[in-house]
């Protein structure tokens, strides 16, 4: 029979690991989205499509904010060294 305290601790560790993995995935996805948007904005600006460049830059800026929040959540869940 498993010890109830140990079993509860193990379950909490598994949940924490899952939360950490999800937060890391969200951080990486948001960073990638921001990078894609900002790259698209740069390409559009270079080709002279300034309206589209502005739209992409604004979307990229929003993605950067999302990435910052997602990555901050990951840092908060990560164990300190």
What would the two tokens of residue 11 be?
């379950």
pLDDT of residue 39: 97
pLDDT in tens, 30-66: 999 999 999 999 999 999 999 999 999 999 999 999 9
Domain of residue 39: give its range.
4-77
% of the chain exceeding 70 in pLDDT: 91
Report whether 56 contacts 37 (CB < 8 A): yes
Q: How confident is the model at residue 2 (pLDDT cuts 50, 70, 90)?
A: low
How many domains does the chain fold into? 1
Question: CA angle 76-80-81, nearest 5°?
Answer: 150
What is the helix (H) or strand (E) element at residue 7, kind and residue range? helix 4-46
């Amino acid at each position: 029979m498993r010890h109830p305290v140990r079993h509860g601790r193990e379950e909490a560790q598994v949940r924490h690991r899952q939360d950490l993995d999800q937060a890391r995935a969200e951080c990486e996805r948001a960073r990638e989205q921001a990078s894609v948007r900002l790259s698209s904005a740069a390409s559009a600006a270079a080709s002279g499509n300034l309206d589209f460049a502005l739209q992409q830059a604004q979307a990229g800026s929003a993605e950067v904010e999302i990435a910052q929040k997602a990555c901050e959540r990951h840092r908060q869940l990560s164990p300190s060294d």
